[in-house]
Amino acid sequence: MTTSGYQVAVLPDPSWVGRSETMGAIRTLGLRALDVDTAMESKAICAALMSAQLAPPVVVVARGDSCLLLPAVALSLRTQHKDTSGYVLVDPDAPPATDTWPESPVLVVSSTEATGTSLRGWTIVRSEGDEPVLVARSIGELLQLPRS
């Protein structure tokens, strides 16, 4: 059962072992988790998001190399008039910040200290332990959802 209007789009990453567990943890918060199950390229992801008919506001979760696609994904969501509430990057290969991205808060969940994101002023959360739960909790904090 969903408890809020937020939707979370989880981008593909074939090397993300805990991806399905992360989507399950997101759903336990009462959020709708969209499994963007497509090729890991910007055109395919943008097409999948367009056909999913997301209702804003949207949170985008990406891991590793898929984080590099976020500026293109953000542009696609903006052209579809889909408000993006924020981004959660898990162990990212960090995309460059541009004049149009990020347009929303970015939270980084990292299992290493060498993420290179601290220079951007993004909030970094060290993942120690249950990463799926930590990602879901980070989304809840980003959205300022009440803790249960």
Instruction: Give me the residue spans of the domains in the chain.
Output: 7-142
pLDDT at 103 over 70: yes
Ranking 41-45, 52-56, 70-74 by mean pLDDT, the lowest is 52-56
- Asked if 143 contacts 6 with a C-beta cutoff of 8 angstroms, the reply is yes
The whole-model pTM stands at 0.90
129-134: long-range contacts at Cβ-Cβ below 8 A with a sequence spacing of 24 or more? 131/18, 131/22, 131/90, 132/18, 132/21, 132/22, 132/24, 132/25, 133/25, 134/109
Percent of the chain at pLDDT exceeding 70: 91
Assign 33 a pLDDT band (cuts: 50, 70, 90). Answer: very high
The answer to whether 58 touches 83, Cβ cutoff 8 Å, is: yes
* Superfamily classification of domain 7-142: Alpha/Beta hydrolase fold, catalytic domain (3.40.50.1820)
Average per-residue pLDDT for the chain: 87
Give the model's confidence band at 1: pLDDT under 50 very low, under 70 low, under 90 confident, else very high: very low
Phi and psi at 59, nearest 5°, equal -115, 135
Q: Are 9 and 58 in contact (CB under 8 A)?
A: yes
- Band (pLDDT 50/70/90 cuts) for residue 27 is very high
pLDDT of res. 116? 54
